[in-house]
Amino acid sequence: MKEQVVTWRRDFHQHPETGYEEFRTSKIVAEHLEGLGLEVKTNVGKTGVVGILRGENPGPTIGLRADMDALPIQDQKTVPYCSQVPGKGHLCGHDAHTSMLMGAAQLLVSLGKPKRGNIKFVFQPAEEGLAGAKAMMDDGVLENPMVDAMAGLHVFPALPTGSIAVTKGVAFASADSIRIKIIGKGGHAARPHEAVDAITVSSQVISALQHVASRLVDPLEPVVVTIGKIQGGYMGTAIAPEVEMVGTVRTLSPSLRKNMPEFIENIIRGVTQAFGAEYEFKYNVGYPVVVNHEGMVDFLTKTSEQVFGDKRWDYVKPSTGGEDFAFYSEAVPGVFFRLGVSNAQEYTSYPLHHPKFDLDEDALPYGVAMLSAVALSFLSDSPQFNI
């Protein structure tokens, strides 16, 4: 099993596909599920794939989710399975997620039909900012049969291979995006008094936005406002008439999230007025917070001890990372956990989204085992949760 899962992972790693373009990946997934004799639905949420393993008798249904999309980042590793697609790379581990769920499907089918209930294998497109989970839900992924609970994992290079980590309650932050245009007045760089320097104003805006976290929000309330892209100007001897900035806003509190557009725009308005500039501001609401159901977390940790034979899990603080698994966990009880993939060697030490991100492939069987065990235990124990 491990050799096959590694082979899939390396193949996907060499052929990364970004959101809603996972045509090759979804074809491989669908053919594998069909070969196992599962019911298969394709084009769910555009490029998503769903496999259904039905039990012998009626019972609960659990969904197991893996995301399939890559990032628009150049892979800088020098390994045989490095990305062959310029400007794209599996640098967040979704190739591993897909491969592990394919392995779990194969393992569960080999064990025969469950005595009761159903397992849905949800291969999701477009997690990276394009809300593939919501697209699949809009296409009925949680229906026919109705899903009673969802489980998913994410590889995590800060954890050692053979371990998992999970958070009760709010586990991952909401993830919104902002776009700001500073409108000044162009001119010659030698005569700045005749212009309104959009670059200078934008730098003041960026600095002032740090005031949100340090002064406008309770210090015990995590919040992140980051400008990750800035573009403006033509040449060194001309004052830029416009600057565009793109950023992200993360919070762990839904109530605080509602206040963020006003906090940010008030700062932009005040700074631009002070410097004689104008602005345009767009706040795009993205993913909600991921909430891990307490009962599902307890169920997961108990199952992990059965799989590993001892306690290899730990509770961790919430992450300010965003995840569209949030849409599933809003609809049904869900648990989203972190799988350790570091073997202490340098190549497994790079963080997610780093151009050299890689993982310890010895961790893949642990992911297969956990996904499989969670599904079987859920159908066997059929815990009753309220959301």
**Phi–psi pair at 153, nearest 5 degrees:** -135, 165
User: What is the rounded average pLDDT of the residues 343-370?
Assistant: 97
Q: Residue 308: pLDDT band by 50, 70, 90 thresholds? A: confident
Helix (H, G, I), strand (E, B) or coil at 340: strand
H/E stretch holding 98 reads helix 94-110
Active centre residues (catalytic): 69, 127
Domain boundaries, the chain: 2-172+289-381, 174-284
Q: Are 198 and 243 in contact (CB under 8 A)?
A: yes
Running DSSP on this structure, what letter comes out for residue 91?
-
User: What value does the mean pLDDT take over residues 94-109?
Assistant: 99
Digit-coded pLDDT (tens) for 146-182:
999 999 999 999 999 999 999 999 999 999 999 999 9
pLDDT of residue 35: 99
Across 89-108, average pLDDT: 99
The mean pLDDT value for 15-33 works out to 99
* 387 pLDDT more than 50: no
Angle made by CA atoms 83, 97, 327, in degrees to the nearest 5: 120
Q: How confident is the model at residue 385 (pLDDT cuts 50, 70, 90)?
A: low
**pLDDT reading at 189 higher than 70:** yes
Query: What tens digit of pLDDT does each residue of 216-267 get?
Result: 999 999 999 999 999 999 999 999 999 999 999 999 999 999 999 999 999 9
What is the CATH superfamily name and number for domain 2-172+289-381? Zn peptidases (3.40.630.10)
Confidence of residue 383 (pLDDT cuts 50, 70, 90): low
Answer whether residue 24 shows pLDDT above 80.
yes
Measured distance CA(348)–CA(359) in Å, rounded: 5
Quote the DSSP letter at residue 147. P
Strand ranges, E, within the chain: 39-44, 48-54, 57-67, 116-124, 149-160, 164-166, 169-172, 174-183, 187-188, 223-232, 238-239, 242-251, 278-287, 290-292, 313-315, 334-342
pLDDT at 159: 97
The b/e string for 80-108 (b: 16+ C-beta within 10 A; e otherwise) is: ebebeeeebbbbbbbbbbbbbbbbbbbbb
**Contact criterion met (CB below 8 Å) for 139 and 41:** no
Q: List all residues 6 or more positions away from 207 whose beta carbon is below 8 Å from its beta carbon.
A: none
| pLDDT surpassing 60 at residue 280 | yes
235 class by beta-carbon count within 10 Å (0-12 exposed, 13-18 middle, 19+ buried) = exposed
Residue 381: per-residue pLDDT: 78
Please identify, in words, the CATH class of the domain defined by 174-284: alpha beta
Beta-strand relationship, 116-124 and 57-67:
parallel
What is the C-alpha R_g of the chain?
A: 23
Task: Give the residue ranges of the annotated binding site.
Answer: 92, 94, 128, 154, 353
Residue ranges for the known binding site for Mn(2+) are 92, 94, 128, 154, 353
DSSP annotation of 141? T
pLDDT greater than 90 at residue 309: no
* For residue 29, pLDDT beyond 80: yes
